[in-house]
Amino acid sequence: MNYIKRKERHRKNNNNDLKENNINSNSKRKIKNNDAIVKHSSDLEYLSKTVSDYSINRNTSLKQILSGMADSGGFEGRHLAYGIEILKKMIEEKNCTRFLSFVGALVSTGNRGIIRDMIKNRMFDCVITTCGALDHDIAKSFSSYYEGDFRLNDQFLLEKEIHRLGNILIPNNNYGPLIETKIQPILQEFYNINKSRLQSQSQSLGLAPSEILRFIGSHLNESSFLYWATKNDIPVIVPGIVDGAVGNQIWLFNQSHKDFKVDVLRDQTILSEMIFDAKMTGAFMMGGGLSKHHTLWWNQYRGGLDYAVYITTASEWDGSLSGAPVAEAISWGKVTTQAKQVTIHADVSTVLPFIYYGLVSK
């Protein structure tokens, strides 16, 4: 059964649910206006749960505060608490194939340690991210990043050969030149090991990006999320592999080793096998863009995600993918109609430590 037929089968099942909901909805519209307000509210139990005030003192634990958010009524605090509960259920569900997606900039912050620990603790089965995430992970494995400010003089920083990423400062020598120095020998070693396979006429396909990243991860230290993904046999899928320093180094190596070829479609095969073998799927998406879209895109072929938590600061009013809430993906068949899902409007670097605490605390 091909992808289109599989997707159509799942869509028909979802449409049956939607038709039933529409029938119930249309029957309620026939009621007079005043009655409709009362009946509709009663049927959905709109007024069944009261808003509870926080009561915090010096003995209140963080776990109690997070629990209190669930009953606080508004606004994003409640979504944060709900997101933690969804992720807990998703991780505890043994039949669920779990995806972790995140943007590259997040790895430049201290939240790299949380991403590393989630992968180290096998909370997820597959990582989908950007080349920027690889760049920062490798650079921080061998060097340091520094605190800065959003309002620094960028012309001055350029003269001092310091990159600014928001309010983080990265010395030039701690980034591009360092990555080249570290990656080229690793690629050469990988090439030497696989030379016969690469030069074989029967080798019709190039190397999967995830295969190269697995080898790179084996050469990093334990502070790296790539290291733990390699150690725990978790594929790292980077659909935009050439959009960054690591991808540039792969291209540069190819200039002198023309038989060293990369085939991004091989990673798509890995994803397709995971998706079609999955009984259930869930995703924790931190930030939007390519990593979020690729996660949603592949899950449409099995009828959509069963669990989905998305964190973003983007607005949906410009029609952007990054601004689109998880609920919008239901209309595309990328999230099931019955999914446990929530969109948290917040800066990931602010809320991720609390989310992770909520997941690991007893």
Any idea which of 42-46, 98-102, 233-237 has the lowest mean pLDDT? 42-46
Question: Is residue 272 within 8 Å of residue 281, measured between CB atoms?
Answer: no
pLDDT of residue 17: 47
Phi, psi (rounded to 5 degrees) for 184: -60, -45
For 314, residues 6+ apart whose C-beta sits below 8 A from its C-beta are 288, 320, 322, 323
| Domains of the chain by start residue, with CATH | 1-45 (no CATH), 62-143+173-360 (3.40.910.10)
pLDDT at 29 exceeding the cut of 60: no
Q: What is the mean pLDDT of residues 207-233?
A: 98
pLDDT of residue 157: 99
pLDDT of residue 103: 98
For 134, residues 6+ apart whose C-beta sits below 8 A from its C-beta are 104, 213, 216, 226, 236, 238, 244, 245, 246
Task: Render pLDDT for 266-314 as a digit per residue (tens, 0 to 9).
Answer: 999 999 999 999 999 999 999 999 999 999 999 999 999 999 999 999 9
pLDDT of residue 48: 85
Cα 86–chain centre separation? 15
Q: What is the mean pLDDT of residues 116-120?
A: 99
Cα distance between residue 169 and residue 63, in whole Å: 33
- Which SS3 state, helix, strand or coil, does residue 8 take? helix
The pTM of this model reads 0.88
pLDDT band at 43 (very low <50, low <70, confident <90, very high): low
Q: What is the mean pLDDT of residues 120-129?
A: 99
Beta pairing class for 168-171 and 146-147: antiparallel
> Locate tokens 């030039």: which residue?
172
pLDDT band at 33 (very low <50, low <70, confident <90, very high): very low
Task: Render pLDDT for 316-348 as a digit per residue (tens, 0 to 9).
Answer: 999 999 999 999 999 999 999 999 999 999 999
Strands of 28-155, DSSP E: 96-102, 126-128, 146-147
Question: Is residue 127 within 8 Å of residue 234, measured between CB atoms?
Answer: yes
For 144, residues 6+ apart whose C-beta sits below 8 A from its C-beta are 174
pLDDT of residue 362: 74
Integer distance in angstroms from the first to the last C-alpha of the chain? 44
Cα distance between residue 357 and residue 362, in whole Å: 9
pLDDT at 38 exceeding the cut of 50: no
Using CA of residue 142, residue 163, residue 253, residue 247, what is the dihedral sign? positive
Q: State the amino acid at position 279 in one-letter form.
A: K
Question: Is residue 333 within 8 Å of residue 10, measured between CB atoms?
Answer: yes
pLDDT at 44 exceeding the cut of 70: no
- Give me the chain's average pLDDT, please: 90
pLDDT of residue 5: 57
Using CA of residue 117, residue 118, residue 123, residue 128, what is the dihedral sign? negative
Any idea which of 25-39, 87-101, 230-244, 246-260 has the lowest mean pLDDT? 25-39
Strand ordering across the sheet containing 162-165? 146-147, 168-171, 162-165
Which tops the pLDDT comparison, 197 or 130?
Answer: 130
Q: How many CB atoms lie within 10 A of CB 151?
A: 7
Strands of the chain, DSSP E: 96-102, 126-128, 146-147, 162-165, 168-171, 236-237, 280-286, 305-312, 335-345
pLDDT at 121 exceeding the cut of 90: yes
Q: At what angle do helices 33-44 and 3-29 cross, to 10 degrees?
A: 130
Instruction: Give me the half-sphere count of Cα atoms (radius 13 Å) on the Cβ side of residue 229.
Output: 28
pLDDT of residue 20: 44
Q: What is the mean pLDDT of residues 159-180?
A: 98
* Catalytic site positions: 334
Q: What is the mean pLDDT of residues 198-210?
A: 74
pLDDT of residue 204: 55
pLDDT of residue 352: 98
Cα distance between residue 87 and residue 72, in whole Å: 20
